[in-house]
């Protein structure tokens, strides 16, 4: 049996080496797709373009991703996993439910500021979503995982708001589900803001980071007693 060593010095079998190499190549493909999808719409990025970017045959891509929809959501999956981790790490620092929810908002804002490309892909405009093949999208394991994590992120926010209501820190007439859906709508609107709105903000000297911070504060003040 052919063996090697990993970074920790442990012996790796040939199968383990192959799996490690496969994972590295898969990540390389996702990196290339992320780079191309950041500046272009879904239909503008072909599997041929991605293959040329990574220096692989187009047929090789299909050994890792069964279609472009799966690859697109593999990029989204990487992003939403980062978002989830930032939220979990953030809310651990809070004591009360209100403090945890503030940290939840902060983590989401930090994610959008640090990873604007991932945030844009997760809240891609309707025009891009219409370019997906619905059957391919729904059959994609990556899409299902992204959807599951997105629901989990929303559920964390809903639970924090409900706990805040129960603890008397958030208004009792606030519906937690409606509030989180509104927050998601705000995220979507921020990502897909029209040029006219951006011009208005620029004329007032308000950049994207300040706008996101101010909107977060406004949303929080709507919930508090």
Statement: residue 41 has pLDDT above 90: no
Give the confidence band of 146 by pLDDT, cuts at 50, 70, 90.
very high
Contact present, 36 and 48 (Cβ < 8 Å)? no
- Decide if 3 is inside a domain: no
Q: In this prediction, what percent of the chain has a pLDDT beyond 90?
A: 73
The per-residue DSSP string of 95-144 comes to SSHHHHHHHHHHHHHHHHHH-HHHHHHHT--HHHHTTS-HHHHHT-HHHH
Output DSSP code: residue 194.
Answer: -
The 10 Å CB-count burial string (b at 16+, else e) for 192-217 is eeeeeeeeeeeeeeeeeeebbbebbe
Do 72 and 24 reside in the same domain of the chain? no
Question: Which of 43, 64, 85 is the endpoint of a domain?
Answer: 64
Helix (H, G, I), strand (E, B) or coil at 209: helix
Provide the pLDDT for residue 192: 86
- Decide if 5 is inside a domain: no
- pTM score: 0.86
Contact present, 50 and 38 (Cβ < 8 Å)? no
- Domain total in the chain: 2
Statement: residue 6 has pLDDT above 70: no
User: Rounded distance, CA 130 to CA 125, Å?
Assistant: 9
Do 197 and 217 reside in the same domain of the chain? yes
Question: Which of 44, 64, 84 is the endpoint of a domain?
Answer: 64
Record the tokens describing residue 197, joined without a space. Answer: 């709105």
Do 43 and 95 reside in the same domain of the chain? no
When comparing pLDDT for 130 and 134, which is higher? 134
H-helix or E-strand spanning residue 12: strand 11-13
Q: pLDDT (tens digit, 9 = 90+) per residue, 84-117?
A: 999 999 999 999 999 999 999 999 999 999 999 9
Do 110 and 212 reside in the same domain of the chain? yes
Do 75 and 49 reside in the same domain of the chain? no
Mean pLDDT in residue range 141-165: 96
Q: How many residues does the chain have?
A: 225
Q: Which CATH number do you get for residue 208?
A: 1.10.357.10
Give the confidence band of 8 by pLDDT, cuts at 50, 70, 90.
low
Provide the pLDDT for residue 101: 97
Q: In this prediction, what percent of the chain has a pLDDT beyond 70?
A: 92
Which residues span the domain enclosing 153? 67-223
Give me the chain's average pLDDT, please: 90
């Amino acid at each position: 049996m052919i063996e090697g060593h990993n970074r920790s010095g442990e012996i790796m079998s040939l199968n383990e080496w192959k799996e490690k190499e496969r994972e590295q190549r898969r990540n390389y493909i996702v990196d290339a797709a992320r780079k191309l999808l950041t500046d272009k719409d879904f239909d503008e990025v072909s599997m041929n373009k991605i293959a040329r970017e990574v220096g692989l045959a187009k047929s090789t891509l299909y050994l890792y991703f069964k279609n472009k929809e799966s690859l697109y959501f593999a990029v989204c999956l990487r992003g939403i996993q980062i978002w989830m981790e930032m939220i979990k790490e953030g809310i651990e620092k809070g004591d009360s439910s209100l403090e945890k929810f503030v940290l939840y908002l902060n983590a989401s804002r930090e994610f959008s500021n640090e990873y604007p490309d991932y945030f844009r892909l997760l809240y891609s405009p309707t025009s891009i979503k219409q370019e997906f093949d619905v059957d391919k999208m729904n059959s994609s394991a990556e899409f299902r995982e992204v959807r599951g994590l997105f629901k989990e992120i929303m559920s964390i926010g809903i639970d924090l708001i409900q706990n805040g209501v129960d603890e008397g820190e958030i208004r009792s007439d606030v519906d937690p589900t409606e509030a989180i859906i509104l927050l998601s709508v705000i995220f979507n609107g921020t990502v897909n803001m029209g040029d006219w709105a951006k011009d208005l903000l620029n004329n007032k000297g308000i950049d994207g980071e300040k706008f996101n911070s101010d909107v977060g504060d406004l949303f929080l003040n709507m919930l508090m007693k």
